[in-house]
Amino acid sequence: MSDTSARTDLLLDGLAPGQRHWFWFCADGHPALVVSQMEGDSNGAEFQAVVAGARFGLPKDAQEVSGVVLGRSRTGVLLCPLVPSSWLVGQLATWVQSEIGRRPSLVALVGVAVVDPRNEDDIIQTDAGLWVGVIQPSVQGLADALEDLSPGESAWYWLGSGLPEGTVPLAMVPVRLDGSGRRFRARRRYFQVPDGARVSVGIATVGADGALGFTSRDASASDCSTLSDWVDAHMKEHPVLARLHGAVFLRVSPGGEVAERYTEAREA
């Protein structure tokens, strides 16, 4: 991750009600978001210098927009662009979907609304329904997380059983990207879980041999079959998913003692 991306994530993660930062978003080429601190840079000179570097190599007619990002307690994050653009929310949602597996702080942008630069109380663009689809677990996001995990590392996980056909049942994010799991918990609130489905959440650890162990108070035998069947159907296109075969699920008590151990049953 570049220094600019890291600073952007840090500012989004800590955005509090009443805070304001500069932002720039480009939807062309390699889509990118820049968030830069407004405090100490009220005229935007430092912000413009950062944007100039991010803009390098882009065509003159690239789709880009800049303005102010605002933190609000009740309405979430607001964007106040200098020039409103009809494509902003849709393109931003598409970009967040592609990046959120590697950058958990982007969950702050889910449900973002665009306000009129002449009246910040006037929301002129939003689409809550759009984000429901964007924030769901994805095959690519899971593959990215697995590729990013080394022996000895851990990841927060969410696993659903009994989900509709076509739904990705597993989401993971490395603990080193989200130490407390707060951002992953915020993201999970948007996952669609129908009546009758069951969910387990917990932590997955990579052993020295590369095998994965999933630990949760909610683990069950169905977790193994759900994951195994889904991996079989998708690992041809995403070979890294094969790492999930042979995973062990441990159901633990509130005190952390192992109550049950479940393993994948595969034919010889």
What are the extents of the domains in the chain?
3-134, 139-263
pLDDT over 70, % of the chain: 96
Q: 132: burial class by Cβ within 10 Å (0-12, 13-18, 19+)? A: middle
Those residues whose C-beta lies under 8 Å from the C-beta of residue 98, and which sit 6 or more positions away, are 31, 140
19-57 pLDDT tens trace: 999 999 999 877 899 999 999 999 999 999 999 999 888
Those residues whose C-beta lies under 8 Å from the C-beta of residue 136, and which sit 6 or more positions away, are 167, 168, 190, 191, 192
- Phi then psi for 201, rounded to 5 degrees? -130, 150
196-238 pLDDT tens trace: 899 999 999 999 999 999 999 999 988 998 899 899 999 999 9
121-148 pLDDT tens trace: 898 888 877 777 677 888 888 998 999 9
pTM of the model: 0.74
Mean pLDDT of the chain: 89
Look at residue 268 in the predicted model and tell me its pLDDT: 39
